[in-house]
Chains A and B, each alone.
Chain A
Amino acid sequence: MSHTGVMPMTPVRSRSFHRFYDINGWCFVLGSLTLVMLFMIYPIINSLWLSLHSGKGVIVQFVGFGNITRLMHDPVFITALTNTLIFLIVQVPLMILLSLATASCLNSPNVKFRSLFRMAIFLPCVTSLVAYSILFKSMFGYDGIVNSALMTIGLIEHPIAWLTDPFWAKVTIILAITWRWTGYNMIFYLAAMQNIDKSIYEAAKLEGVTPVQTFFNITVPLLKPVILFTSVMSTIGTLQLFDEAMNITNGGPANSTLTLSMYIYNLSFKFVPNFGYAATVSYVIVFFAAALALVQFKFVQDKK
């Protein structure tokens, strides 16, 4: 009311107008907020509280950090953690490289039947996890197709014990996961590549840069945000690996393909049920997911 000189650019909004906006806004959000609180926030807090307890079935007592101490001395947990990390370290870089390579190949305009290839590589992602695991289990069995094919070609003399040997069981799982998720990541890269200006590639060609150098020095740096996204997603997905390990090898010969999620399942449903301890193991997964995501973000930031 006591303005002197120039009038303000925007009209002054009355307080009741703001209140109307606020209340309406909150009312609209309240529905989904309630659902998120009920089905996400409440279980997360409840399982944190549960992880401080230990016991048999419904008979639990408070143990504080007892579960964490137990974790450190539990040989099965250490095996599960090691296996999960091995899968992570071997499979994620391998798959990302493969996806990048296939995306790069399929991006070139000279390839015939591009859409057919794209569909064929992407199709594994839409299959049911259990269905394809069971198929892989029969394919990689001792008398399965893979062994027969390899022996017919002459690559191997005796059938490989894909599922009953600790080392080959891990290889089978890695092959299965790679087959399934390569197409998924490839689509992300393909989409991102459409945003790269074609003139950059032309300039590179003119300067005589080889295709491999183009790939590593131009394509990859320009795709950095997408690569970061897919690698974080793949890390989180591999940390939670369950379906393949359960259905193809069931924890594998001698716990060689036992993953953290499978250990949680065993602790809850196969062994004497100790839900508190299982909750603690699940928080280990959360911790690693957060830590690795942070590391990957930092890795990208530093380059800038």
Chain B
Amino acid sequence: MSFEKNNLVRNLTLGVVVATCSMSALAKKNELTVWAWDPNFNIAIMEQAKATYQKAHPDVTIKVVDFAKADLEQKMHTMLASGMTKSLPDIVLVEDYNAPKFLSSYPGAFSAMDGKVDYTKFAPYKVELMTMNGKTYGMPFDSGVTGMYYRKDLLAQAGFKPEDMQNITWDRFIEIGKVVKAKTGKAMLGNDPNDPGLVRVMMQSAGSWYFDEKGALNIKNNEALKEALRIEKSMTDAGIVRPTMGWSEWVGAVNHGDVATITTGVWITASVKAGADQAGKWAVAPTPRLNIKGGTNQSNLGGSSWYVISTSDNSDQAIEFLNSTFGKDSAFYQQILTDRGAVGSYLPARTGTAYQQPDAFFGGQAIYSDFANWLGKVPKVNYGYYTYEADAALAAQLPAYFQGMPLEQVLEQIDSQLAAQIQ
């Protein structure tokens, strides 16, 4: 090559290298990346937090990225396991059932927020699950306090008034469901045979879980689990369940008017409201209880929290952002409650006005004051690390159980499968 060409090539390469270096250096400052799922709920709420924060700090850019929940978890595992910290976000949403798993599998990956966040202002059960070895790691976010959402008009058609739906047992629920099916032709609820979410709701409502307080397996002698499974079988046998597969079918059954109730966490409110033509026809009643000792009409399903990745360049700024919005701003909690139905775990927010407001979609019922009331009574349980394994083991046995396998044998199988999974 000629001398001039050599020089040109060398200078060009140098120029490109310098440009990329400076670009990458500039991109890092004052830009926070947030990963979350559910555009109707989590993403929308984070966008509101971003808007609130940017009023006071216009120089900070916050990028909110939407993933499907399973994809987000997969990416997190891959990146944390391989140590590729550059592509990790600054803030990530982690479901509460997964939090102990992430914290213990990848020690040091998440920032402890002990000195900076006042954890006494948050619901104790949320703070407990993000505490490991004396340090607390996340910003508690939404609570999954459950309620039974029901269609007043369909229940009225079957001859039931709202008073008949308050503080009932699951057996009574099944009886009501049979009448509803007979008189309206609609199923009482939609349920995914692969997803034992409802079993979890029932278990926690009686203060029980797959594992006891010490984390040992609690399957074979678990009265709440046995009763929950019996109820599920009775519901299926009574023909009041519409089988749905996956999130969109489950929510679709509600929005299309195929089911009369849905019993799950308060985070479903936004999805129920998506069926705008059903405004005024819904109401919320306490979760039905198991007819055993310790059975209550309150429970929790899901709920998640925000975590800051410790290796990010902007971790301090991320903690400050979360603290000034989710950690202190009561007005912010009123706003997300009114707009998205987000019941936060920030205790002082519950005296705010939004929590007392009647909601037109639910016929003027002040549903959030009901939920805030129930939130304080949710039985505390230790989720442990292996909730997903237990779910899978349970889901594997449900069809056999519905087809007639005796309950004792089902529990035996679940127990042995779980014992093999947990090493």
Binding site for B on A (CB under 8 A): 54, 56-59, 70, 73-76, 79, 137, 141-142, 161, 163-166, 250-256, 266, 268-275
Query: B386 touching A272 by the CB < 8 A rule?
Result: yes
Q: Are A76 and B388 closer than 8 Å at their CB atoms? A: no
* CB closest chain-B residue, reference A55: B105
CA distance A163 to B246 in the complex (A): 12
Given pairs A75-B413, A253-B193, A269-B70, 19 additional interface contacts (CB within 8 A)? A57-B80, A59-B107, A74-B420, A75-B416, A75-B420, A76-B421, A79-B396, A164-B193, A166-B399, A250-B246, A251-B194, A253-B398, A255-B396, A270-B70, A271-B388, A271-B389, A272-B386, A273-B101, A275-B81
B399 and A272 form a contact (CB under 8 A): no
Cα–Cα distance between A73 and B399 once the two chains are bound (Å): 23
The answer to whether B73 has its CB under 8 Å from any CB of chain A is yes
Question: A172 to chain B: closest CB distance in Å?
Answer: 12
What DSSP secondary structure best describes chain B's contact surface?
Answer: helix
Contact yes or no, B245 A163, CB < 8 A = yes
Judge whether A254 and B392 touch: CB under 8 Å: no
In the complex, what's the smallest C-beta–C-beta distance from B276 to chain A, in angstroms? 23
Q: How far is the CA of A161 from the CA of B386 in the complex (A)?
A: 31
Identify the closest chain A residue to B74 (Cβ).
Answer: A269
User: A256: nearest residue on chain B (CB-CB)?
Assistant: B399
Given A254-B399, A273-B77, A164:B243 Cβ within 8 A = yes
The answer to whether B105 touches A75 (Cβ under 8 A) is no
CA distance in complex: A254, B396 (Å): 3
Residues of B within 8 A of A (CB): 70, 73-74, 77-78, 80-81, 83, 101-102, 104-107, 193-194, 243, 245-246, 249, 385-386, 388-389, 392-393, 395-400, 413, 416-417, 420-421, 423
- B243 to chain A: which residues have CB within 8 Å? 142, 161, 164
- For A75, the chain B residues whose CB sits under 8 A away are 413, 416-417, 420
Bound Cα distance from A271 to B416, whole angstroms? 17
A178 vs B193: C-alpha distance in the bound complex, in angstroms?
27
Shortest distance in angstroms between B265's beta carbon and chain A's nearest beta carbon? 20
Complex-state Cα separation, A166 to B105, whole angstroms: 34
Which residues of B have CB within 8 Å of A273? 77, 81, 101, 105
Closest 3 CB pairs of A and B: A57-B105, A254-B399, A269-B74
Q: List 6 A-B contacts (CB under 8 A).
A: A56-B105, A56-B385, A57-B106, A75-B413, A254-B399, A273-B101
Asked whether B105 lies within 8 Å of A59 as measured between CB atoms, the reply is yes
Chain B positions within 8 Å of A163 at CB level? 245
Chain A residue numbers with a CB within 8 Å of B400 are 254
Q: Is the CB of B81 within 8 A of A76?
A: no
Chain B residues, Cβ within 8 Å of A256: 399
Q: Which of B105, B194, B397 contacts A58 (CB 8 A)?
A: B105
Q: How far is the CA of A163 from the CA of B194 in the complex (A)?
A: 11
| Contact between chains at B245 and A137 (CB < 8 Å) | yes
Distance between Cα atoms of A59 and B413 in the complex (Å): 29
Residues of A within 8 A of B416 (CB): 75
Q: Is the CB of B420 within 8 A of A272?
A: no
Q: Is the CB of B423 within 8 A of A70?
A: yes
Q: How far is the CB of A163 from chain B (nearest CB, A)?
A: 6
Docked pose: A250 CA to B416 CA in angstroms: 23
Check B77 against A56 for contact (C-beta < 8 Å): no
- B415 nearest CB across to chain A (Å): 11
- B417 A76 Cβ-Cβ under 8 A: yes
Report the Cα distance A18→B229, complex, angstroms.
Answer: 78
Inter-chain CA distance A163–B244, complex, in Å, is 10
- Interchain CB contact under 8 A, A268 and B105: no
CB atoms of B106 and A271 under 8 A apart: no
Task: Determine if A56 and B104 form an interchain contact, defined as CB atoms under 8 angstroms apart.
Answer: yes
Interchain CA distance A75-B194 in the complex, whole Å: 18
Q: Is the CB of A76 within 8 A of B420?
A: yes
Task: Output the nearest chain A residue to B389 by Cβ-Cβ distance.
Answer: A271
A58-B105, A76-B420, A164-B243 known; A253-B399 Cβ under 8 A: yes
Given A58-B105, A164-B245, A250-B194; A268-B77 close (CB under 8 Å): yes
Which of A142, A271, A272, A275 has the most chain B CB atoms closer than 10 A to its own CB? A272
Which residues of the partner chain B approach A270 to less than 8 Å between Cβ atoms? 70, 73, 388, 392
Which residue of the partner chain B has the closest CB to A267? B421
Residues of A within 8 A of B393 (CB): 76
Q: How far is the CA of A207 from the CA of B396 in the complex (A)?
A: 58
Query: Would A57 and B81 count as touching, CB distance under 8 A?
Result: yes
Q: Which of B78, B83, B246, B421 contacts A271 (CB 8 A)?
A: B421
Q: How far is the CB of B150 from chain A (nearest CB, A)?
A: 23
Question: A58–B396 Cα gap in the complex (Å)?
Answer: 28
Q: How far is the CA of A59 from the CA of B104 in the complex (A)?
A: 9
Enumerate chain B residues within 8 angstroms of A73, measured Cβ to Cβ: 420
Question: A254 with B245: in contact, given A70-B423, A73-B420 (CB under 8 Å)?
Answer: no
Residues on B with beta carbons closer than 8 Å to the beta carbon of A274: 423
Residues A54 and B423 in contact, CB atoms below 8 Å apart? yes
Tell me whether B73 and A269 are in contact (CB under 8 A).
yes
* Chain B nearest Cβ from A302, distance in angstroms: 40
- Could you say which residues of chain A place their CB within 8 Å of the CB of B77? 57, 268-269, 273
Tell me which residues across on chain A come within 8 A of B397, comparing CB atoms.
254
B392 x A266 contact (CB < 8 A): yes
Q: In the bound complex, what is the Cα–Cα distance between A86 and B78 (angstroms)?
A: 31
Cα distance, A74 to B393, chains bound together (Å): 12
Cβ–Cβ < 8 Å partners of A250 in chain B? 194, 245-246
Kindly list chain B residues whose C-beta atoms are within 8 Å of the C-beta of A70. 420, 423
Closest chain B residue, CB of each to CB of A138? B249
